[in-house]
Amino acid sequence: MADLRLASVSKRFGAVSAVQGLDLEIASGDFIVLLGPSGAGKTTTLRLVAGLERPDQGQVHIGGRDVTHEAPALRDVTFVFQQYSLYPHLSVFDNLAFPLRSPLRRLSPEGIRRKVEEVARLLRIEDKLSSPATRLSGGQMQRVAIGRALVRNPAVALMDEPLSSLDAKLRDDLRLELKRIQQDLAATVLYVTHDQTEAMTLATRIGVLENGQLAQIGTPRAIYEDPASLYVASRLGSPRINLVPLGALGEAAAPPLAVTAGVRAEHVEVVNASATAAQEGWPACLVRLESLSDQRLAVFTLEGTEQQIVAALPPEAVLAPGTGVRLRFRRLLWFDAQGQRVGT
Protein backbone atom coordinates (compact mmCIF):
# COMPACT_ATOMS: atom_id res chain seq x y z
CA MET A 1 0.00 0.00 0.00
CA ALA A 2 1.11 3.56 -0.63
CA ASP A 3 0.24 7.17 0.08
CA LEU A 4 -1.81 9.29 -2.33
CA ARG A 5 -1.60 13.03 -2.95
CA LEU A 6 -3.70 15.27 -5.17
CA ALA A 7 -2.14 18.70 -5.73
CA SER A 8 -4.44 21.49 -7.01
CA VAL A 9 -6.29 19.07 -9.29
CA SER A 10 -9.03 20.51 -11.52
CA LYS A 11 -11.22 18.98 -14.20
CA ARG A 12 -13.88 20.51 -16.44
CA PHE A 13 -16.40 18.91 -18.76
CA GLY A 14 -17.47 21.69 -21.10
CA ALA A 15 -19.07 24.40 -18.98
CA VAL A 16 -19.19 22.17 -15.90
CA SER A 17 -16.34 22.38 -13.40
CA ALA A 18 -16.43 18.89 -11.87
CA VAL A 19 -13.34 19.25 -9.63
CA GLN A 20 -11.81 22.57 -8.62
CA GLY A 21 -8.33 22.97 -7.16
CA LEU A 22 -8.57 19.80 -5.08
CA ASP A 23 -5.76 19.27 -2.55
CA LEU A 24 -5.89 15.95 -0.73
CA GLU A 25 -3.27 13.88 1.11
CA ILE A 26 -3.88 10.28 2.14
CA ALA A 27 -1.34 8.39 4.22
CA SER A 28 -0.57 4.75 3.55
CA GLY A 29 -3.14 2.55 5.29
CA ASP A 30 -5.73 5.32 5.66
CA PHE A 31 -9.42 4.85 4.86
CA ILE A 32 -10.58 8.19 3.45
CA VAL A 33 -14.22 8.74 2.55
CA LEU A 34 -15.30 11.55 0.22
CA LEU A 35 -18.86 12.50 1.14
CA GLY A 36 -21.23 14.57 -0.95
CA PRO A 37 -24.40 14.55 -3.04
CA SER A 38 -24.63 13.66 -6.72
CA GLY A 39 -22.66 16.14 -8.79
CA ALA A 40 -20.22 17.02 -5.99
CA GLY A 41 -17.25 15.57 -7.92
CA LYS A 42 -16.81 12.28 -6.06
CA THR A 43 -16.63 9.86 -8.98
CA THR A 44 -14.62 12.29 -11.12
CA THR A 45 -12.01 12.42 -8.34
CA LEU A 46 -11.73 8.62 -8.36
CA ARG A 47 -11.41 8.55 -12.14
CA LEU A 48 -8.64 11.16 -11.99
CA VAL A 49 -6.71 9.02 -9.49
CA ALA A 50 -7.26 5.90 -11.60
CA GLY A 51 -6.10 7.63 -14.78
CA LEU A 52 -9.47 7.20 -16.51
CA GLU A 53 -9.57 11.01 -16.74
CA ARG A 54 -6.69 13.44 -17.11
CA PRO A 55 -6.73 16.61 -15.00
CA ASP A 56 -6.80 19.97 -16.73
CA GLN A 57 -4.53 21.24 -13.97
CA GLY A 58 -2.65 19.77 -11.03
CA GLN A 59 -0.83 16.53 -10.29
CA VAL A 60 -1.62 13.07 -8.94
CA HIS A 61 1.09 11.39 -6.83
CA ILE A 62 0.97 7.75 -5.72
CA GLY A 63 3.69 6.37 -3.48
CA GLY A 64 5.67 9.59 -3.93
CA ARG A 65 5.65 9.23 -7.73
CA ASP A 66 4.00 11.67 -10.13
CA VAL A 67 1.55 9.51 -12.12
CA THR A 68 -0.45 12.33 -13.69
CA HIS A 69 0.42 11.28 -17.23
CA GLU A 70 0.81 7.54 -16.66
CA ALA A 71 -1.61 5.00 -18.11
CA PRO A 72 -4.14 3.43 -15.69
CA ALA A 73 -2.42 0.02 -15.88
CA LEU A 74 0.84 1.51 -14.60
CA ARG A 75 -0.61 3.25 -11.54
CA ASP A 76 -1.14 0.13 -9.41
CA VAL A 77 -4.67 1.09 -8.37
CA THR A 78 -7.86 -0.95 -8.33
CA PHE A 79 -11.46 0.20 -8.74
CA VAL A 80 -14.62 -1.20 -7.13
CA PHE A 81 -17.77 0.04 -8.84
CA GLN A 82 -21.33 0.41 -7.58
CA GLN A 83 -22.36 -2.56 -9.70
CA TYR A 84 -20.58 -5.85 -9.18
CA SER A 85 -18.79 -5.96 -12.57
CA LEU A 86 -17.87 -9.64 -12.27
CA TYR A 87 -17.04 -11.94 -15.18
CA PRO A 88 -20.25 -14.01 -15.30
CA HIS A 89 -18.70 -16.92 -17.20
CA LEU A 90 -15.97 -17.42 -14.56
CA SER A 91 -16.05 -19.05 -11.14
CA VAL A 92 -15.47 -17.07 -7.95
CA PHE A 93 -11.91 -18.42 -7.85
CA ASP A 94 -11.18 -17.28 -11.39
CA ASN A 95 -12.75 -13.86 -10.80
CA LEU A 96 -10.46 -13.36 -7.80
CA ALA A 97 -7.45 -14.76 -9.63
CA PHE A 98 -7.95 -12.67 -12.77
CA PRO A 99 -5.87 -9.63 -11.63
CA LEU A 100 -3.04 -11.93 -10.53
CA ARG A 101 -2.77 -13.45 -14.01
CA SER A 102 -1.91 -10.12 -15.63
CA PRO A 103 1.26 -10.14 -17.79
CA LEU A 104 2.51 -7.34 -15.51
CA ARG A 105 2.64 -9.83 -12.63
CA ARG A 106 4.73 -12.96 -12.35
CA LEU A 107 3.02 -15.29 -9.91
CA SER A 108 3.12 -19.05 -10.07
CA PRO A 109 -0.18 -20.99 -10.16
CA GLU A 110 0.48 -22.06 -6.56
CA GLY A 111 1.17 -18.46 -5.52
CA ILE A 112 -2.09 -17.37 -7.14
CA ARG A 113 -4.00 -20.10 -5.34
CA ARG A 114 -2.53 -19.17 -1.95
CA LYS A 115 -3.37 -15.50 -2.44
CA VAL A 116 -6.92 -16.18 -3.63
CA GLU A 117 -7.61 -18.52 -0.73
CA GLU A 118 -6.20 -16.00 1.75
CA VAL A 119 -8.47 -13.20 0.47
CA ALA A 120 -11.46 -15.58 0.27
CA ARG A 121 -10.99 -16.37 3.98
CA LEU A 122 -10.90 -12.65 4.80
CA LEU A 123 -14.09 -12.18 2.80
CA ARG A 124 -15.63 -15.32 4.35
CA ILE A 125 -16.48 -16.80 0.94
CA GLU A 126 -13.94 -19.65 0.90
CA ASP A 127 -16.80 -22.13 0.43
CA LYS A 128 -17.89 -20.34 -2.75
CA LEU A 129 -14.64 -20.49 -4.73
CA SER A 130 -15.90 -23.14 -7.14
CA SER A 131 -19.31 -21.53 -7.60
CA PRO A 132 -20.21 -19.64 -10.79
CA ALA A 133 -20.33 -15.89 -10.17
CA THR A 134 -23.94 -15.81 -11.43
CA ARG A 135 -25.13 -18.08 -8.61
CA LEU A 136 -24.13 -15.80 -5.76
CA SER A 137 -26.32 -13.47 -3.72
CA GLY A 138 -25.90 -9.72 -4.12
CA GLY A 139 -23.81 -9.47 -0.97
CA GLN A 140 -21.58 -12.34 -2.03
CA MET A 141 -21.06 -10.83 -5.48
CA GLN A 142 -20.00 -7.53 -3.97
CA ARG A 143 -17.59 -9.36 -1.64
CA VAL A 144 -16.00 -10.95 -4.71
CA ALA A 145 -15.75 -7.54 -6.41
CA ILE A 146 -14.04 -6.10 -3.32
CA GLY A 147 -11.77 -9.14 -3.06
CA ARG A 148 -10.74 -8.82 -6.71
CA ALA A 149 -9.69 -5.23 -5.98
CA LEU A 150 -7.66 -6.14 -2.90
CA VAL A 151 -6.19 -9.50 -3.91
CA ARG A 152 -3.07 -8.05 -5.50
CA ASN A 153 -2.32 -5.55 -2.68
CA PRO A 154 -2.68 -2.41 -4.84
CA ALA A 155 -1.03 0.87 -3.93
CA VAL A 156 -4.52 2.42 -3.60
CA ALA A 157 -7.98 0.86 -3.70
CA LEU A 158 -10.69 3.12 -5.14
CA MET A 159 -14.33 2.41 -4.26
CA ASP A 160 -17.30 4.15 -5.88
CA GLU A 161 -20.36 3.65 -3.63
CA PRO A 162 -19.87 -0.15 -3.68
CA LEU A 163 -22.64 -0.84 -1.13
CA SER A 164 -25.40 1.41 -2.44
CA SER A 165 -27.09 -1.24 -4.60
CA LEU A 166 -27.51 -3.66 -1.66
CA ASP A 167 -30.50 -3.84 0.66
CA ALA A 168 -30.22 -2.25 4.10
CA LYS A 169 -29.34 -5.42 6.04
CA LEU A 170 -26.65 -6.52 3.57
CA ARG A 171 -25.27 -2.99 3.44
CA ASP A 172 -24.89 -2.89 7.22
CA ASP A 173 -23.25 -6.33 7.35
CA LEU A 174 -20.85 -5.68 4.49
CA ARG A 175 -19.90 -2.27 5.84
CA LEU A 176 -18.58 -3.92 9.00
CA GLU A 177 -16.80 -6.57 6.95
CA LEU A 178 -15.20 -3.99 4.66
CA LYS A 179 -13.76 -2.06 7.59
CA ARG A 180 -12.37 -5.26 9.11
CA ILE A 181 -10.79 -6.33 5.82
CA GLN A 182 -9.23 -2.91 5.27
CA GLN A 183 -7.70 -2.97 8.75
CA ASP A 184 -6.44 -6.55 8.35
CA LEU A 185 -4.73 -5.70 5.06
CA ALA A 186 -3.63 -2.16 6.08
CA ALA A 187 -5.05 -1.10 2.72
CA THR A 188 -5.03 2.49 1.48
CA VAL A 189 -8.63 3.17 0.47
CA LEU A 190 -10.29 6.17 -1.17
CA TYR A 191 -14.03 5.60 -0.92
CA VAL A 192 -16.84 7.84 -2.11
CA THR A 193 -20.46 7.88 -0.98
CA HIS A 194 -23.47 10.09 -0.37
CA ASP A 195 -24.36 7.99 2.71
CA GLN A 196 -23.33 9.67 5.95
CA THR A 197 -23.59 6.40 7.92
CA GLU A 198 -20.99 4.79 5.68
CA ALA A 199 -18.77 7.84 6.03
CA MET A 200 -19.01 7.97 9.82
CA THR A 201 -18.45 4.25 10.39
CA LEU A 202 -15.79 3.50 7.76
CA ALA A 203 -13.54 6.54 7.56
CA THR A 204 -10.40 7.42 9.44
CA ARG A 205 -11.01 10.85 7.88
CA ILE A 206 -13.94 12.30 5.95
CA GLY A 207 -13.56 14.82 3.13
CA VAL A 208 -16.79 16.70 2.43
CA LEU A 209 -17.09 17.73 -1.23
CA GLU A 210 -19.16 20.70 -2.37
CA ASN A 211 -19.37 21.51 -6.08
CA GLY A 212 -16.02 19.88 -6.77
CA GLN A 213 -14.22 21.59 -3.89
CA LEU A 214 -13.10 20.17 -0.57
CA ALA A 215 -15.27 21.99 1.97
CA GLN A 216 -13.62 20.33 4.99
CA ILE A 217 -11.59 17.26 5.90
CA GLY A 218 -11.08 15.72 9.33
CA THR A 219 -11.98 12.81 11.57
CA PRO A 220 -15.66 11.84 11.61
CA ARG A 221 -16.04 13.24 15.14
CA ALA A 222 -14.32 16.53 14.27
CA ILE A 223 -16.44 17.03 11.15
CA TYR A 224 -19.61 16.32 13.12
CA GLU A 225 -18.86 18.45 16.17
CA ASP A 226 -16.94 21.31 14.56
CA PRO A 227 -18.25 21.85 11.00
CA ALA A 228 -16.65 24.67 9.03
CA SER A 229 -19.85 25.64 7.24
CA LEU A 230 -23.59 25.21 7.22
CA TYR A 231 -23.20 22.88 4.21
CA VAL A 232 -20.82 20.57 6.11
CA ALA A 233 -23.02 20.64 9.22
CA SER A 234 -26.00 19.55 7.12
CA ARG A 235 -24.16 16.61 5.52
CA LEU A 236 -23.69 14.74 8.83
CA GLY A 237 -26.18 13.89 11.51
CA SER A 238 -29.43 11.94 11.72
CA PRO A 239 -31.74 13.68 12.35
CA ARG A 240 -30.26 16.61 10.45
CA ILE A 241 -29.04 19.59 12.40
CA ASN A 242 -31.72 22.11 13.37
CA LEU A 243 -31.16 25.38 11.48
CA VAL A 244 -32.85 28.39 13.03
CA PRO A 245 -32.89 31.97 11.66
CA LEU A 246 -31.55 34.42 14.20
CA GLY A 247 -34.88 36.27 14.22
CA ALA A 248 -36.66 33.21 15.63
CA LEU A 249 -34.42 33.25 18.71
CA GLY A 250 -35.37 36.71 19.87
CA GLU A 251 -32.83 38.00 22.40
CA ALA A 252 -30.24 35.26 21.80
CA ALA A 253 -26.67 36.50 22.09
CA ALA A 254 -25.06 35.90 18.73
CA PRO A 255 -21.57 36.65 17.42
CA PRO A 256 -21.12 39.41 14.81
CA LEU A 257 -22.26 38.51 11.27
CA ALA A 258 -24.27 35.49 12.46
CA VAL A 259 -27.64 35.02 10.75
CA THR A 260 -28.36 31.32 11.37
CA ALA A 261 -28.00 29.10 14.43
CA GLY A 262 -27.48 25.37 14.23
CA VAL A 263 -28.18 22.96 17.06
CA ARG A 264 -27.98 19.16 17.06
CA ALA A 265 -30.96 17.19 18.36
CA GLU A 266 -28.90 15.81 21.25
CA HIS A 267 -28.02 19.36 22.33
CA VAL A 268 -31.67 20.38 22.77
CA GLU A 269 -32.77 20.09 26.40
CA VAL A 270 -36.50 19.85 27.06
CA VAL A 271 -37.67 21.46 30.33
CA ASN A 272 -41.16 21.40 31.81
CA ALA A 273 -42.59 24.88 31.29
CA SER A 274 -44.00 25.02 34.85
CA ALA A 275 -40.65 24.32 36.52
CA THR A 276 -39.01 27.21 38.34
CA ALA A 277 -35.73 26.62 36.57
CA ALA A 278 -37.48 26.78 33.21
CA GLN A 279 -37.42 30.55 32.93
CA GLU A 280 -34.42 30.16 30.64
CA GLY A 281 -34.73 28.95 27.09
CA TRP A 282 -37.38 29.28 24.43
CA PRO A 283 -41.09 28.41 24.88
CA ALA A 284 -42.25 25.71 22.47
CA CYS A 285 -45.06 23.26 21.84
CA LEU A 286 -44.71 19.56 21.09
CA VAL A 287 -46.03 18.69 17.62
CA ARG A 288 -45.29 14.98 17.40
CA LEU A 289 -43.14 12.12 18.65
CA GLU A 290 -41.10 9.75 16.50
CA SER A 291 -39.84 6.45 17.90
CA LEU A 292 -36.86 4.97 16.08
CA SER A 293 -34.99 1.79 16.90
CA ASP A 294 -32.27 3.57 18.86
CA GLN A 295 -33.79 6.91 19.87
CA ARG A 296 -36.94 8.89 20.55
CA LEU A 297 -37.31 12.14 18.70
CA ALA A 298 -39.66 15.01 19.49
CA VAL A 299 -40.64 17.72 17.04
CA PHE A 300 -41.47 21.10 18.58
CA THR A 301 -42.61 24.45 17.21
CA LEU A 302 -41.07 27.55 18.76
CA GLU A 303 -43.76 29.79 20.25
CA GLY A 304 -44.88 32.59 17.96
CA THR A 305 -43.11 31.13 14.92
CA GLU A 306 -43.43 28.24 12.47
CA GLN A 307 -39.85 27.18 13.23
CA GLN A 308 -39.61 23.47 14.04
CA ILE A 309 -36.97 22.00 16.34
CA VAL A 310 -36.15 18.28 16.60
CA ALA A 311 -34.90 17.08 19.99
CA ALA A 312 -33.60 13.70 21.16
CA LEU A 313 -35.61 12.70 24.23
CA PRO A 314 -34.21 10.72 27.17
CA PRO A 315 -35.94 7.35 27.78
CA GLU A 316 -37.71 8.58 30.92
CA ALA A 317 -39.32 11.62 29.26
CA VAL A 318 -43.14 11.53 29.09
CA LEU A 319 -44.74 14.05 26.76
CA ALA A 320 -47.92 14.28 24.72
CA PRO A 321 -48.57 16.33 21.57
CA GLY A 322 -49.72 19.82 22.48
CA THR A 323 -47.59 19.95 25.65
CA GLY A 324 -45.94 23.31 26.33
CA VAL A 325 -42.27 23.20 27.26
CA ARG A 326 -39.14 25.30 27.20
CA LEU A 327 -36.14 24.38 25.11
CA ARG A 328 -32.55 25.02 26.13
CA PHE A 329 -29.83 24.81 23.52
CA ARG A 330 -26.66 23.53 25.15
CA ARG A 331 -24.42 24.18 22.13
CA LEU A 332 -25.23 26.58 19.33
CA LEU A 333 -23.24 26.73 16.09
CA TRP A 334 -23.42 30.07 14.28
CA PHE A 335 -23.22 30.71 10.53
CA ASP A 336 -23.06 33.90 8.46
CA ALA A 337 -25.09 34.84 5.37
CA GLN A 338 -22.70 32.83 3.16
CA GLY A 339 -23.09 29.76 5.36
CA GLN A 340 -19.60 29.96 6.86
CA ARG A 341 -19.05 29.25 10.53
CA VAL A 342 -18.56 32.30 12.75
CA GLY A 343 -17.85 32.78 16.43
CA THR A 344 -15.83 29.57 16.81
CATH for 265? 2.40.50.140
Beta bridge partners, 245, equal: 260
Model pLDDT for residues 10-28, shown as the tens digit of each residue: 999 999 999 999 999 999 9
**Burial label, 226 (beta-carbon count in 10 A; 0-12, 13-18, 19+):** middle
pLDDT at 276: 45
Model pLDDT for residues 91-122, shown as the tens digit of each residue: 999 999 998 888 777 788 999 999 999 888 88
Total domains present in the chain: 2
Q: Which of 205, 235, 265 finishes a domain?
A: 235
Q: Are residues 73 and 182 in the same domain?
A: yes
Model pLDDT for residues 294-329, shown as the tens digit of each residue: 678 999 999 988 999 999 988 777 788 898 999 999
Q: Are residues 149 and 188 in the same domain?
A: yes
Rg (CA), the chain: 24
**Mean pLDDT of the residues in the chain:** 89
CB of 133 within 8 A of CB of 87?
A: yes
Q: Give the structural domain span for 50.
A: 4-235
Task: Give CA–CA dist 197/201, Å, rounded.
Answer: 6
Q: Which residues contact 306 (CB under 8 A, 6 or more apart)?
A: none
Q: Which of 170, 201, 235 finishes a domain?
A: 235
Q: Which of 176, 202, 235 finishes a domain?
A: 235
Model pLDDT for residues 27-66, shown as the tens digit of each residue: 999 999 999 999 999 999 999 999 999 999 999 999 999 9
CA contacts within 13 A on the Cβ side of 141: 20
Min mean pLDDT across 98-107, 112-121, 157-166, 226-235 is at 98-107
Task: Give CA–CA dist 192/194, Å, rounded.
Answer: 7
